[in-house]
Structure 1
Amino acid sequence: MSKTETLTHDSDAAQTACPGETLEAVLKAARIADPVIDRPNGFAFAFVPEGFRMQDVSDPYQLPPRIQQRVTVDDADSLIQYAKRFLDDRSVIIADLDTLTIGVVLDWHSQNQVPEDIGVTLQPQPCQHIAALKLRNSEEFARWSAMEGALHSQMEFAEFLDENSSDIVDPDPAVMIEIARDLEATRGVAFKSGTRLQTGERSFRYETETHVKGDLVVPQRFCLSLPLFFGEAPTEIEASFRFRPNPDGLKLGYVWRRVEHVRQAKFQEIAFRVAEATGLPVFQGRAE
């Protein structure tokens, strides 16, 4: 056998005699090319040089599997029930008056109290499971607010009072309906004077074109009972009448009396009601 034939024979034998060594070489090359294996839930493993054994190289501060959900509810009772379902010792309430939002952060950061063997003083939490109540104006308050602050014609104002008289608690709604009818009847008359009565009410004196005189007494203030926010119980608020005689008739309207203070107080009441029902601490402010 020639030398050339001998080398060829040895090469063929090496390829056919040790297929496992060839496979192992291919696997080693693949491990060297991409040594890190990512697994679910943030785990990662890497092949290290000592025999290519697998070693855990996961981030020790990687957050564990968690709920990532933001829920917006429409009323306080829904917020309370949702919070009770998921809350734990991390959960807190953050009440943001500027946006009228009461949020329960169910996975807020843990307290700065951890076992000594952990070796850290703080445990970061995801803060990604939040139930929030965004307070909205009730339908009743929205209707009255749309008319507030502007002067309206007698016809428009009388029709509005007649339609929404059920929200009025002082004076009696029947009296307000009667006033509404009288206001509509005085359209186009000439107002001569206005005097303040001892009761605090104001008396308008007018003459019609037929020179028949009459007096119309309108309360200086009136009181409403209506929900300020959707899903809440009615609250009493006050409004003051405003008027302005014009050549084309009397313009009438009203303005709120410190209603924003009442709304802020109601917001605080809702926040503390949620805190009392869930047993969670409440913080006034916002999370940046």
Structure 2
Amino acid sequence: MAQSPTPQAGELVIAPEPRSALDTAIEAARIAEAVIKGNDGREHVLLPERMQLYDISDPNRLPSRVKQLVTVDDRASLCAYANRYSTDRSIIIADFDALTVSARIDWHAHNQDDSVPEAGHNAHAVTLKLRPSEEFARWDAVEGKLLPQEEFARFLEENSVDIGFPEAATMIEISRDFEATVGQVYKSSVRLDNGDRKLVFETDTKVQNGVIIPEKFTLAIPIYNGEDAEELTCLFRWRAQGGGAVGLGFQWHRVEYQRRAHFAQIATSASEETRLPVYMGRFA
């Protein structure tokens, strides 16, 4: 194998220039990591020839886009966000089953011109997730249940501020009448001319005490969190139980229709405030 000639005695040896060696090292480092990615997603490669940038980006790559799914707690926030980022593509989809009103910011292009509609990414959206109000959740938790007299009376008194008719003072009086009959024996009930009921109790000394309960009462509470209060109708329910006791409770009257109607109102109002078309339904 040939070897590098060994310098002879008296021969002048010229060492490499330091600056040239540095430039060579820098060039080698650039070649080692030749691909450069820009902030816009494009890629370039740095080649030794005059150190020029050559575009090697995929010509079929999708343009950069926003990927953001936001969940808000009230209608005002939904509309404010949609008004800031919406385009002529944006739409609103309202799903009652999921209790969501969603503004899809980057939806598909419309087909109002001669060109083929361009598919949207559907990766940027703001969604209002409706929740029951604190008041509605509290009443709904005991709806359809028959509670002992004392427990139901306490519940009425604690939540009397939610009651519209009869007025709160009347409902508190009714609850106290119920508490007064705890331990007494239920004997009978009488239906009054106005549809109310009079429940008759009897003490050990055969003294009778009557409690009049209205056929129905109304609540003035919001159904959904952050929404205005509306009037809900409750039907009084009672049942004689063993040992002369009485179970008391109530049932909603057509409240499900009101829930659906109020949901549609929220979706329609959001459409009006954002000027976006609204569709009632869901997407896969």
Q: Give how far 1:136 is off.
A: 0.9
Deviation, 1:126, is 4.7
- What's the CA shift for 1:177? 1.0
Q: Secondary structure at the match of 2:212?
A: strand
Q: What is the CA–CA distance in structure 2 between the aligned matches of 1:248 and 1:41, rounded to whole Å?
A: 79
**What is aligned with 1:89?**
88
Q: 1:45 Cα deviation (Å)? A: 4.9
Confirm or deny that 1:282 pairs with 2:281: no
Tell me which amino acid in the other structure corresponds to 1:279. Answer: R
Q: What is the rounded CA distance, in whole Å, between the counterparts of 2:259 and 2:58 in structure 1?
A: 48
2:238 to 237, 243, 253: 243
| Structure 1 counterpart of 2:9 | none
Distance 1:225 1:216 in 2: 25
Correspondence 1:146 to 2:145: no
Give me the whole-angstrom Cα distance separating, in 2, the residues matched to 1:217 and 1:270: 39
CA drift of 1:220 comes to 1.5
List runs of 5+ in structure 1 lacking aligned partners. 6-15
Q: Distance in 2 between matches of 1:232 and 1:61?
A: 47
Residues 1:61 and 1:174: Cα distance change in structure 2 (over 3 Å)? farther
Q: Tell whether the 8 Å contact from 1:110 to 1:125 is kept in structure 2 after alignment.
A: no
* 1:139-188 deviation digits (Å, cap 9, x = unpaired): 11111111211111111111111111111111122111111110110112
Give the letter for the 1:127 counterpart. Answer: A
Report the Cα offset of residue 281 of structure 1.
Answer: 0.6
Give distance in 1, aligned partners of 2:45 and 2:183.
90
8 Å contact kept, 1:37–1:44? yes
Match of 1:66 in 2: 65
Match of 2:175 among 170, 175, 180: 180
Alignment-derived partner of residue 13 in structure 1: none
Conserved? CA contact 1:114–1:122, under 8 Å: no
Tell me, in whole angstroms, the C-alpha distance in 2 between the residues paired with 1:223 and 1:85: 40
Contact 1:94/1:285 (CA < 8 Å) preserved in 2?
yes
CA distance in 2 between counterparts of 1:192 and 1:75 reads: 50
Query: Equivalent residue for 1:78?
Result: 77
Q: TM-score, normalised by structure 2?
A: 0.81
- Equivalent in the alignment of 2:111: 112
2:248 matches 1:234: no
2:75 partner letter: A
8 Å CA contact 1:91–1:106 kept in 2: the answer is yes
2:94 alignment partner AA: A
Q: Which amino acid aligns with 2:146?
A: L
Distance 1:254 1:61, change over 3 A: farther
Aligned pair count? 279
Contact 2:144/2:251 (8 A) holds in 1: yes
For residues 86-139 of structure 1, the C-alpha deviation after alignment (integer angstroms, 9 at most, x for no partner) is 1121211111111111111112222235786xxx642433532x1111111111
For the residues of structure 2 that align with 1:44 and 1:232, how far apart are their CA atoms?
Answer: 50
Over the matched positions of the two proteins, sequence identity in percent amounts to 44
Q: What CA RMSD, in Å, does the superposition of the two structures yield over aligned residues?
A: 3.7
Displacement of 1:37 in angstroms is 5.8
Within 1, Cα distance between the matches of 2:198 and 2:82?
55
Tell me if structure 2 keeps the 8 A contact 1:92–1:108.
yes
Query: In the superposition, relative to structure 1, how do residues 115 and 55 fare at CA in structure 2: closer, same or farther (>3 Å)?
Result: farther
The one-letter amino acid of 1:64's match is: P
Structure 2 counterparts to residues 95-174 of structure 1, below 5 A: 95-112=94-111, 121-128=117-124, 130-174=125-169
**Structure 1 position 195, deviation (Å):** 2.6
Give me the whole-angstrom Cα distance separating, in 1, the residues matched to 2:205 and 2:259: 48
1:261 matched to 2:260? The reply is no
Give TM-score scaled by structure 1 length: 0.80
Q: Report Cα offsets for 1:255-288 as digits up to 9, x if no partner.
A: 1112121111111111111100110011112232
Q: Which of 160, 182, 199 is the aligned partner of 1:204?
A: 199
